[in-house]
Amino acid sequence: MRAQARIVAVADPVRGTRLAAMRGEPPLLPRRTFPSDSEGEVQLHLVGGAAGPLGGDDLRIEIEVGPDARLCVRSVAASLALPGPAGGQSRLHITARVAAGGRLRWLPEPLIGAAGCDHRTVTSIALAEGATLLWREELVCGRYAEPVGDVRIETTLRYGGRTLLRNDLAVGPRASGWSGPAVLDGARAVGSLLVVDPAWSDATSQEPTRCVWMAGPDDGSGRPDSAGGPTGVRRAAPEHSTAAVLPLAGGPAMLVNAVGADPRAVRARLDRLSVRRYVPERTARFRAIPIARVSPAASSATAGDAE
Amino acid sequence: MTGLATLLVLADGRLPAGGHAHSGGLEAAVSSGRLRDLAGLSGFLRGRLATTGRITAAFAAAACVAARTVRAADADADADADAGHDDALDRHRLDALDEGLDARTPSPALRRASRVQGRALLRAGRAIWSVDPAQRDRHHPVALGIVAAAAGLPPAEAAVAGAYGTVSGPASAAVRLLGLDPYGVHSLLAELAGECDRLAALAAARAGDPIDLLPADSAPLLEIGAEVHANWEVRLFAS
Amino acid sequence: MRPDPQVQNGTGSHDHGTGPHEHAVDEVPHTHPDPGVDPHAPLTSPVPGTTRPVRVGIGGPVGSGKTALVAALCRALGDELRLAVVTNDIYTTEDADFLLRNGVLPADRIRAVETGCCPHTAIRDDISANLDAVEDLEVSLGPLDLVLVESGGDNLTATFSRGLVDHQIFVVDVAGGDKVPRKGGPGVTSADLLVINKTDLAPLVGADLSVMARDSAARRGDLPTVFLSLVDDPVAGMVADWVRGLLPARTDRRGGPAKLVP
Ligand SMILES: Nc1nc2c(ncn2[C@@H]2O[C@H](COP(=O)(O)OP(=O)(O)OP(=O)(O)O)[C@@H](O)[C@H]2O)c(=O)[nH]1
Ligand SMILES: [Mg+2]
């Protein structure tokens, strides 16, 4: 199956933002959803018209956000990558362009890689200098007690013409060592939140200062565990090294990375680190995004606290 | 004219280029309880080779190609001052490869570790081979390509030294940190040798690719672990 | 006393192939036997136009009193010299506090180097991280007179590379037994100064200092040995004097010209 969706958001003097284009075909059907953001943001959901992606599918999503427009794209449910009837790889290409002053929030539900699937997501984000981005990507390795097929996620972020992030993740039988202690250590879910905010430009003109906070289940302290351990090596509880905030080089951007036993744990860690902790003092912008807006369940924009 | 022995000099763990103080993320993995034994090390090394190793091989090969062109141009310019050989593109390519590694290394701690090792390798390269003194602050894979070029090695050999180094470093750290049987550990390295060669051949074949198309395979727990590790008060390894 | 060819030739135009290169005015002009090889690399001053500080290594077995000696030297020399410390010790904030409290050495004058479980490698076989740390101190603090490099505690065979330090002090203690100097090893036999520390403990551990003096003289020939108790002498007077004697004579330095310990 081939399908394409195209969404174009432009600034509107009255409502802040309006959709200049919103079209798609199954399984990529964009639907305007409410309530809209008070900051003049337009929100829409991708509603899946079919199971998938299936092996052989070729799906394309194109997003454009014009100067000063604000767009938030979500999905109503997780997508499930399945092997196709005739074999073959399923592909999802996402291309996003955001103009200066524009803001894009891409907050879909996770991708689940089913057993035997062969899926590749290629994301290419091009931001003009002065554009703002929040981009979430979550992957679940198999349905319940199921081994994952081959999934490859390739992400490129350009900001003002410079590539700030090239980050691929491969899991499954073809990816050597992916479930070992260097990559996922048996974690079944992994996710990232890519944040770009031009307000950090001054702060990050040098190598950004390190800021890392470990996310334990109830670790509100933000401090590394200081317990000693055998062989003189400090031993932190495993859950204390499952997430980190990573300021990128060369631009006002950071990547929040998290792994977990399931998607809920990953989402909780991403939300906790991104919303509560990373925001530099000088930046009010993402502070204004309450946790519920980053992480709603399905189409409700008022979901309660995560976790 | 150089041969295989030059590659042995460059890839030797005892080359004074700072490698012994870096565990390639192993110390963090050990302390978080993710790695305790030979089986854990095996998985760790495989994952590291498929991610960091693949990137290191690709960037070492690409940097070697660019550095060789720059050196050839410099030699031409010395022989004939009027030659006017324009090697600006290749110098720019080295800068761009360095930026490409920044983009593939979201963890600031890993970026620092890579640059520290790059500086140490260039220092060794200046003392041992005739590495351009202007090349000082480079990510380790780019430094490896530059030093390999100065040693007269081809891109595939720069790449194989890079791929092998990403696993031999943590393997040696595992022997020191966990007291694992050194024969068992070296058996793992021997098993991975074929994969190192394969990655190096791929890297050499694609050494001229646009930088965004070079490998970018990531290992989330290496990134996360490196940040946690950098925050410890006491550590035995620099990274 | 060497200019840095790399820094001075930031354009990369330095040409070893065609003839003698530039050196400081006070240096005898010479060419190098092997064109294309920079024999100066490990000993350069990163600040052009300045002289490189004297680097003194302090090595010795675990717990013999290396950090305590560094603190004593900071106490003794901190006011008269521009001083910085690189420590290969497994570095804790307690160590930093120790130097801060006892040595009056600000934190920005201390760099810690991780040794990957291999302290002797970092000071002897692969000195790159230590060289980096020394240069980093020189760049961030400006001209220095003296850099002390403390090794991690190791065994009797661990000595500093000449590529890293100009002089080295080997610290053993009497509590390790009066047999230690007799055992020899490169640290005891060849260090520029042997310090036998914790003499205050000698009666408690039954160590015979005269035996230690005799054995070290036999092992070391003309090289000096100092008996020390940092409990009794918290500024390590004899060692501090010995260090002063290593520095080029300077009239503007407080404490006057250096004098050698006998
Ligand atoms: N009694 C006595 N104790 C001393 C003397 N010098 C040092 N110490 C004590 O010996 C202990 C070890 O001293 P350090 O200076 O930490 O020894 P070190 O050689 O730096 O140890 P490592 O770095 O761990 O190898 C400390 O408790 C010191 O206070 C001394 O002259 N007499
Ligand atoms: Mg000490």
Domain boundaries, chain A: 1-175, 185-295
3-class SS of residue A146: coil
Q: Which residues of C touch B16 (CB under 8 A)?
A: 125-128
Q: Using CB atoms, pick whichever of B123, B176, B234 lies closest to residue C131.
A: B123
| DSSP bridge pairs for C256 | none
Question: Does residue A35 carry a pLDDT above 50?
Answer: yes
For residue A57, what pLDDT band results from cuts at 50, 70 and 90? Answer: very high
Ligand 1 site-directed mutation target among C66, C75, C102, C204, most atoms within 8 Å of CB: C66
pLDDT over 90 (residue A88): yes
DSSP run (H or E) holding B141: helix B140-150
Mean pLDDT on A165-180: 98
Nearest alpha-carbon partner for B41 in B219, B185, B141: B185
> Neighbouring chains of B at 3+ CB pairs within 8 Å?
A, C
Residue holding tokens 């395979």?
B217
pLDDT band at C258 (very low <50, low <70, confident <90, very high): very low
Distance of CA B93 to the CA centre of its chain: 17
Higher per-residue pLDDT: B229 or C2: B229
Q: What secondary structure letter does DSSP report for C248?
A: P
Q: What is the dihedral of CA B77, B78, B81, B84, to 10 degrees?
A: 0
In chain A, what percentage of residues exceed pLDDT 70?
75
Distance from C-alpha of C125 to C-alpha of C119, rounded to nearest angstrom: 10
Tokens describing residue A208: 């950004």
Choice from C230, C235, C238, C239 to test ligand 1 binding pocket (greatest atom count within 8 A of CB):
C230
Contact between A180 and B43 (Cβ < 8 Å): yes
Q: Give the model's pLDDT for residue B3.
A: 81
The pLDDT score that the predictor gives to residue A274 is 72
For residues B219 and A178, the answer to whether their CB atoms sit within 8 Å is: no
Give the domain C54-244 fold.
Answer: Rossmann fold (3.40.50)
Is the confidence at residue A70, as pLDDT, over 90? Answer: yes
The reply to whether residue B223 touches residue A257, judged by beta carbons under 8 angstroms, is: yes
Q: How far apart are CA B41 and CA B53, in angstroms?
A: 15
At a CB cut-off of 8 Å and minimum separation 6, what does B50 contact? A170, A175, A176, A177, A178, A183, B217
Which residues, listed in sequence order, are joined to residue B189 by a DSSP beta bridge? none
Name residue A243's beta-bridge partners. Answer: A258
Report residue C231 as tokens. Answer: 């409990």
- Determine whether the interchain pair B134/C11 forms a contact, defined as Cβ–Cβ distance below 8 Å: yes
Q: Cβ contacts (< 8 Å) between B123 and chain C: which residues?
A: 41-42, 128, 131-132
Cβ-based burial of C222 (10 A; exposed 0-12, middle 13-18, buried ≥19)? exposed
Atom of ligand 1 nearest to the CA of C229: 31
Give the residue from B211, B229, B18, B216 showing the smallest Cα distance to B110.
B229
Q: Given A190, A212, A237, which is nearest B227 (Cβ)? A: A212
pLDDT-based confidence at C102, cuts 50/70/90?
low
Residue A217 has pLDDT above 80, yes or no: no
Please list the alpha-helical segments (H only) found in chain C: 5-8, 66-77, 93-103, 119-120, 128-141, 180-183, 186-190, 202-205, 209-220, 237-244
Q: Give the ligand with the smallest distance to the CA of C60.
A: 1
Residue A264 has pLDDT above 60, yes or no: yes
Q: Which residues of A touch B40 (CB under 8 A)?
A: 180-181
CB B1 within 8 A of CB B152: yes
- Ligand 1 nearest-atom number relative to CA C69: 15
Quote the tokens at residue A209.
């200062």
pLDDT of residue B70: 86
Q: What is the pLDDT of residue A138?
A: 97
Per-residue tokens: B203: 């890297």
- Angstrom distance (rounded) from CA A60 to CA A54: 14
Of A62, A61, A60, A73, residue with least CA distance to A17: A73
Pocket test for ligand 1, best of C62, C67, C86 (most atoms within 8 A of CB): C67
Write the DSSP string, A3-44. EEEEEEEEEETTTEEEEEEEE-BTTBEEEEEEEEETTTEEEE
The answer to whether residues A234 and A226 touch, using CB atoms and an 8 Å cutoff, is: yes
Judge: C129–B16 Cβ closer than 8 Å, yes or no: no
Ligand lying nearest the CA atom of residue C73 = 1
Summarize the confidence of residues A208-235 as an average pLDDT: 31
Q: In C, what residues contact B, Cβ < 8 A?
A: 5-6, 9-12, 14-18, 36-39, 41-42, 90-93, 113-118, 121-122, 125-129, 131-132
The distance from CA B13 to its chain's CA centroid, rounded to whole angstroms, is 12
Give the Å distance between the CA of C120 and the centre of ligand 2. 14
* Structure confidence at residue A202 (pLDDT): 57
How many Å lie between the alpha carbon of C171 and the closest alpha carbon of chain B? 23
Q: Mind telling me how many Å the CA of B99 is from chain A's nearest CA? A: 8
Distance B226 CA to ligand 1 centre (A): 33
Residue B38: CA atoms inside 13 Å, Cβ hemisphere, count? 10
pLDDT value at position C16? Answer: 40
**Percent of chain C with pLDDT strictly greater than 90:** 56
Spell out which residues of chain C touch residue B17, defining contact as CB-CB under 8 Å: 126, 128
Residue nearest to atom 10 of ligand 1 (CA): C65
Residues of chain B with pLDDT under 50: 82-84
Which three-class secondary structure state does DSSP give residue C58?
A: strand
d(CA A143, CA A250): 38
Question: B51 and A190: CB-CB below 8 Å?
Answer: no
**Interchain contact, B120 vs C129, CB within 8 Å:** yes
Q: Which residues of B touch C154 (CB under 8 A)?
A: none
Query: Which residues in chain A touch residue B225, judged by CB atoms under 8 angstroms apart?
Result: 241
| Contact residues on chain A for B42, CB-CB shorter than 8 A | 180
Which mutation among C198, C200, C228 tests ligand 1's pocket best, with the greatest number of atoms within 8 A of CB?
C198
Q: Which two tokens stand for residue B150?
A: 């100065």
Distance CA B221, CA A180 (A): 10
Of C242, C239, C244, nearest in space to C254 by CA: C244
Higher pLDDT, A101 or C26: A101
In whole angstroms, give the CA distance from residue B88 to residue B208: 16
Among candidate residues A164, A153, A155, the one with its CA nearest the CA of residue A123: A155
Quick one: pLDDT at residue A37?
54
The per-residue pLDDT for C92 is 65
**Residue C39: pLDDT band with limits 50, 70, 90:** very low
Query: What are the Cα distances from residue B5, in Å, to B9, B10, B12, B146?
Result: 6, 9, 10, 18
Q: Please give the mean pLDDT across all residues of chain C.
A: 79
CA pseudo-torsion sign B178, B181, B186, B187: negative
Q: Compute the average pLDDT of residues A74-79.
A: 93
Give the 3-state secondary structure percentages of chain B, helix then strand then coil, rounded to 5: 70, 0, 30
Contact A165 B230 (CB under 8 A): no
pLDDT tens track for C175-192: 988 999 999 899 999 999
For ligand 2, the distance from its centroid to the CA atom of residue C69, given in whole angstroms, is: 9
H-run or E-run covering A61: strand A58-65
ipTM of the complex: 0.94
Task: Determine the straight-line distance between the first and last CA of chain B, rounded to whole angstroms.
Answer: 36
Neighbours of chain A (3+ CB pairs under 8 A): B
Quickly list DSSP for A262-282.
SHHHHHHHHHIIIIII---TT
CA–CA dist C79, C86 (Å, integer): 18
With beta carbons under 8 A apart, name residues in chain A contacting B236: 232-233
Instruction: Please return the burial class of C183, using the count of CB atoms within 10 Å of its CB with bins 0-12, 13-18 and 19+.
Output: middle
Contact predicate A96/A106, CB 8 Å? yes
Lowest mean pLDDT among A227-231, B26-30, C132-136: A227-231
Pocket of ligand 1, beta carbon within 6 A: C 60, 62-68, 89, 153, 197-198, 200-201, 229-231
Residue C63 CB neighbour total at 10 angstroms: 15
Contact flag B33-A165 (C-beta cutoff 8 Å): no
pLDDT-derived band at C91 (thresholds 50, 70, 90) equals low
The reply to whether B29 touches chain A by the CB within 8 Å rule is yes
Q: Lowest-pLDDT range, A97-111, A287-301, B23-37, B57-71?
A: A287-301
Residue C9 to residue C5: CA distance in whole angstroms: 6
Atom of ligand 1 nearest to the CA of C154: 25
Higher-confidence residue of A210 and A47: namely A47
Between the two ends of chain C, the Cα-to-Cα distance in Å is 27
Single pTM value for the model: 0.84
Out of C93, C121, C131, whose CB is closest to B20? C121
Q: Among the listed ranges A156-170, B127-141, C103-117, which one has the minimum average pLDDT value?
A: C103-117
C254 residue type, one letter: R
Domains of chain B with CATH codes: 19-230 (1.10.4190.10)
Please judge whether A166 and B106 are an interchain contact, meaning their C-beta atoms are less than 8 angstroms apart: no
More confident residue, A238 or B92: B92
Mean pLDDT of all residues belonging to chain A: 80
Q: How many CB pairs under 8 A join B and C?
A: 101
Candidates B43, B102, B215; nearest CB to A177: B43
Q: With CA atoms as reference, report the closest residue to B125 among B110, B154, B145.
A: B145
